[in-house]
Amino acid sequence: MRFFASLALIVASFASLWANETSRSLPVRGLAIAAPNPASLSQFIEFVETELVPRGLNTLVLRIDYRFAYTSHPELQSENPLTLEHVKRLVECGRRNDIELIPQINLLGHQSWAETTGRLLAVYPEFDETPHVKMPETYEWPNEDGLYCKSYCPLHPDVHDVVFALVDELMEAFEASSFHAGMDEVFYIGDERCPRCAGKNKAKLFADEVTRVRDHLAASGRSLWIWGDRLLNADTTGLGMWEASANDTHPAIDLIPKDVVICDWHYERAEATPPYFALKGFHVLACPWNKPQVGLAQLEQALSFRKRSNPVLAERHLGILLTYWSSAERFMEIYADPDSVEQQQRGPIDTLNTLFPKP
């Protein structure tokens, strides 16, 4: 038994060394995580500089949403927001360490979570795609309304004046060249009771919204990143309604601009979908979460694709974006003491260690 345990450690060690040598060849080596709270900002900056930079990470997608002290729409600020001064400290950290900071606001979907309505629809309920769907006192899935997260109506005449003001303010604060709009898991779109969207093609509705956001950013020389699940066919791929679309948005893949960067998340297996996006003309990132073996397989796929494809295709696979879906504070806490939590909670830390080993 000791022999096999030792052999497993040796194999893991070689895999880690291999990942360390090869992952650094990828153009993008990133982490998508919630931005820290103001009280944890100094700790987070130190964590980036002492723990992430030595691993070779060069990109941070920071989920902000409404946790910024917006001046364009102060009514949309959440409690205890990051201020402009806080953001500038993050910008300086990125500049010192050659890390690209990409701020994120969830657009279109993810306008609620569980029993809580997000700030946009709480303040502007007229933007709700499905106002007839009431938020439950206790959330359960599945439910009769098919409620996962609320969406805003992409055809409401006033919604973009509001959300683009937030996007512009955040991009200026972060001095960023790319913006992440989320746009994953959009289950409510083209609702039959929406006075503007009813009866319209859902793929076109989705594509038009992606294009609208992209065009707004492009006007100031900035680029758009989104999650890729709504562009995959749930049935054809066998991926199901979460990692792919079961509500007819997938044809949008042929309708959106090719300079949109696709973040292709898959957590159970290293699905062979990044080449599909590359063949469609997009730059793409493979996005693991909490299973090191899946992340390692995605890394192997990325490296193989870049090595074996012709130069035009090869350069479209940008690399790896590790995702984490709790707070920055929780990530740092588990990182400091991984043995204190169960395997699933430790999984993202193990995946980080596997893909981007610390020298």
Give 303's DSSP letter.
H
The Cα–Cα gap between 248 and 99 comes to 37
Confidence class for position 12, pLDDT limits 50, 70, 90:
low
φ/ψ (deg, to 5) at 212:
-60, -45
**What residues does 263 pair with on adjacent strands?**
227, 285
232, pLDDT greater than 90: yes
Q: Which residue has the higher pLDDT, 22 or 221?
A: 221
Tell me what the mean pLDDT of segment 328-357 comes to: 96
Q: Residue 344's pLDDT is what?
A: 87
Average pLDDT, the chain: 95
The Cα–Cα gap between 21 and 112 comes to 41
Tell me what the mean pLDDT of segment 231-250 comes to: 98
Tell me what the mean pLDDT of segment 16-23 comes to: 58
Tell me what the mean pLDDT of segment 116-129 comes to: 98
User: In 10 A of CB 219, how many CB atoms?
Assistant: 8
Residue 288: which of 271, 305, 265, 272 has the closest Cα? 265
Q: Residue 23's pLDDT is what?
A: 80
The Cα–Cα gap between 23 and 320 comes to 8
The Cα–Cα gap between 187 and 357 comes to 37
Residue 190's contacts (CB-CB under 8 Å, 6 or more residues apart) are: 197, 198, 199, 200, 201, 202, 205
User: What are the CA-CA distances from residue 40 to residues 34, 53, 80, 87, 332 (Å)?
Assistant: 12, 18, 12, 13, 10
Confidence class for position 1, pLDDT limits 50, 70, 90:
very low
Exposure string of 146-155, with b = 16+ CB inside 10 Å and e = fewer, is ebbbbbbbbb
The Cα–Cα gap between 13 and 226 comes to 34
For the segment 21-36, what is each residue's pLDDT rounded down to a tens digit? Answer: 568 899 999 999 999 9
The Cα–Cα gap between 183 and 236 comes to 21
Q: Residue 3's pLDDT is what?
A: 45
Confidence class for position 343, pLDDT limits 50, 70, 90:
confident
For the segment 149-187, what is each residue's pLDDT rounded down to a tens digit? Answer: 999 999 999 999 999 999 999 999 999 999 999 999 999
Give the three-state DSSP class for 185: coil
The Cα–Cα gap between 230 and 185 comes to 7
Tell me the angle at which helices 292-308 and 343-355 cross, rounded to the nearest 10 degrees. Answer: 30
In the chain the first and final C-alpha atoms are separated, in Å, by 29
φ/ψ (deg, to 5) at 136:
-80, 155
Confidence class for position 19, pLDDT limits 50, 70, 90:
low
For the segment 275-306, what is each residue's pLDDT rounded down to a tens digit? Answer: 999 999 999 999 999 999 999 999 999 999 99
Tell me what the mean pLDDT of segment 250-258 comes to: 98
**Are 177 and 222 contacting, i.e. CB atoms less than 8 angstroms apart?**
yes
Q: Poorest-confidence range of 20-24, 57-61, 189-193, 329-333?
A: 20-24
- Based on C-alpha coordinates, what's the Rg of the chain? 20
Q: Residue 9's pLDDT is what?
A: 45
**Are 153 and 198 contacting, i.e. CB atoms less than 8 angstroms apart?**
no
5, pLDDT greater than 80: no
